[in-house]
Amino acid sequence: MEAATPPPGPLVVAISSRALFDLEESHRLFEREGIEAYQAYQREREDEVLAPGIAFPLVRKLLALNAAAPVGEGGVPRVEVILLSRNSSDTGLRIFNSIQHHGLDISRATFTSGAPTWPYVRPFGADLFLSANPESVRRALEHGIAAATILPAKAPAHRHNQLRIAFDGDAVIFGDESERVSREQGVEAFGRHERERAREPLSGGPFRGFLDALHRLQEAFPPGEDSPIRTALVTARSAPAHERVIRTLREWGVRLDEALFLGGRPKGPFLETFGADIFFDDSDENIASARSHVAAGHVPHGVANS
């Protein structure tokens, strides 16, 4: 008799305090005057609630999914958010006070007193790591963890209740082999390369595992317009290079609700139309286009970041 397949665990997202809250004033103080001034500043204001940061709406929507779907086996939530901070537990008191004030169901956290936070991502079993620290993100990616750099900013305006996540394809969901052909041999060679391999699945990129986990979470809800999660592929590819992408996702058994093949058009306006809560891309140029419209996470992976 075959053993029963264990139920999938929760989708786990690890996030830095600077991505979750607007800490830029105190961060500038730290850079200008040092750690002691920073510590005194946070202690004096530990009862002052921090304003939401760039990734706050994303986190709120993720945690809201626990109320919208039945919990997993044994009462395990569908989504868990972990806070990782370079603050000390002492100066981190203001952060936890702010978490409680905003009603965020975050109970697990690590405060490292200035040490890197990325080594704790894997022990927590995180599917995704969002941080304002580019070096932490790079190290996490090197260790096989889906990670992106979030440029700190105030939270964007609320637009809708549905969680909407958009991904670039090559070097994010997929490996960067095809992108290397494009950069090293040109667009015509890229098109020929993809036509010849249209039925050969692309390799998985650093965000394949997160995409799988997100897809499993989506399956806990009824499909269609009423689903609380909507996903999109937003890629510079165009026909005929689209076929390999479609066949790869079919081979993986992963659903993306929308697919935008833009043929090199700027991505920002399309992401705004989609209403992305966050967009992941490996290209600095695409991130710059996206950031003027939506929250964007830079994935420093692949040939574009060599």
Residue 168 falls in the annotated catalytic set: yes
Asked if 155 contacts 52 with a C-beta cutoff of 8 angstroms, the reply is yes
Largest separation between any pair of C-alpha atoms in the chain: 66
- Which of 47, 90, 127, 168 is labelled catalytic? 168
The count of other CB atoms within 10 Å of the CB of residue 63 is 19
> Which helix or strand (DSSP H or E) is residue 149 part of?
strand 147-150
Q: Is 233 helix (H, G, I), strand (E, B) or coil?
A: strand
> Distance of CA 177 to CAs 99, 201, 228, 303, Å?
42, 12, 34, 9
* Beta strands 163-167; 128-131: pairing state: unpaired
Signed CA dihedral, 176, 178, 179, 183: sign only:
positive
d(CA 61, CA 116): 27
> Which helix or strand (DSSP H or E) is residue 235 part of?
strand 229-235
| Residue positions annotated with a catalytic role | 168
